[in-house]
Amino acid sequence: SQQGEEDPQALSIQEGENATMNCSYKTSINNLQWYRQNSGRGLVHLILIRSNEREKHSGRLRVTLDTSKKSSSLLITASRAADTASYFCATGNYGQNFVFGPGTRLSVLP
Amino acid sequence: GAGVSQSPSNKVTEKGKDVELRCDPISGHTALYWYRQSLGQGLEFLIYFQGNSAPDKSGLPSDRFSAERTGGSVSTLTIQRTQQEDSAVYLCASRQGVTGELFFGEGSRLTVL
């Protein structure tokens, strides 16, 4: 299975701190994506990193990818209460289904 | 349309009844996915349509579940003889082409009494 698995399952931090979430997967991939889900709503795409990339930035987000270890990390810097959500990684190959991990529930306390 | 649209947003049904959930993907998107999410859990892949290719049905949990995609656009997920364990949020997503980000609808929350 390509399934990504995030850890930790839950993370609670204070506003202003950084939050790091990790994702591991099992097979080779073309790209890995991170999504965010606010409670009870659909998922929103955050960032995509291709298999030939090692690091990518978008605003306060930083994603790394280590294909040798089959792992990725998502760093959210200077967190805000509005960052409270569940975060999922998704792995896939061209033309194949995308498999999501169980997610990390992030709580940012004001 | 501007985004992925799903209907109904909420559905309450009795055990044993059939239900249909609808997904309108973004116009021009060739890929369409259905996922299921139980409360507090991750996304469970159900089925994937890509253009005119045969769909990937490997995630459908039983033969009570089926899905169609008519004209390469609208998709309907049908659950026959619903069971209480079918209660979940059913999410639809679409994508342009064979790679790239998925755009999700807000989901259809199904409750089977």
pLDDT, tens only, A36-53:
999 878 899 999 999 999
Q: Furthest-apart CA pair in chain B: how many Å?
A: 39
* pLDDT at residue A103 is higher than 50: yes
Residue A69 has a pLDDT of: 94
pLDDT digits (tens, 9 = 90+) for B9-62: 999 999 999 999 999 999 999 999 999 999 888 899 999 998 888 999 999 999
Cβ atoms of residues B103 and B97 within 8 Å = no
A82: Cα separation from own chain's centroid:
16
Residue A93 has a pLDDT of: 74
User: Which of A30, A40, A45 has the CB atom closest to B102's CB atom?
Assistant: A45
Sequence letter at residue B77 = L
Q: Do A42 and B42 touch (CB under 8 A)?
A: no
Residue scoring higher pLDDT (B12 or A26): B12
Average pLDDT of the residues of chain A = 90
What length does chain A have?
A: 110
pLDDT digits (tens, 9 = 90+) for A80-90: 999 999 999 99
How open is the CA angle B67-B28-A33, to the nearest 5 degrees?
75
**Which residue is associated with the tokens 């060739």?**
B30
* pLDDT at residue A94 is higher than 80: no
Report yes or no: A48 at the B interface, CB cutoff 8 Å.
yes
Residue A1 has a pLDDT of: 42
Cβ atoms of residues A86 and A106 within 8 Å = yes
Q: Do B101 and A33 touch (CB under 8 A)?
A: yes
User: How large is the average pLDDT for residues B52-77?
Assistant: 93
User: How large is the average pLDDT for residues B53-82?
Assistant: 94
Residue B19 has a pLDDT of: 98
| B window 33-62, beta carbon within 8 A of A | 33, 35, 41-43, 45, 48, 50, 53, 56, 58-59
Which residue of B38, B89, B99 is the best one to mutate when testing the A interface, meaning the one whose CB has the most A CBs within 10 A? B99
Question: To the nearest 5 percent, what fractions of chain A are helix, strand and coil?
Answer: 5, 55, 40
Q: How confident is the model at residue A96 (pLDDT cuts 50, 70, 90)?
A: confident
User: Which of A45, A88, A95 has the CB atom closest to B43's CB atom?
Assistant: A88
Residue A2 has a pLDDT of: 45
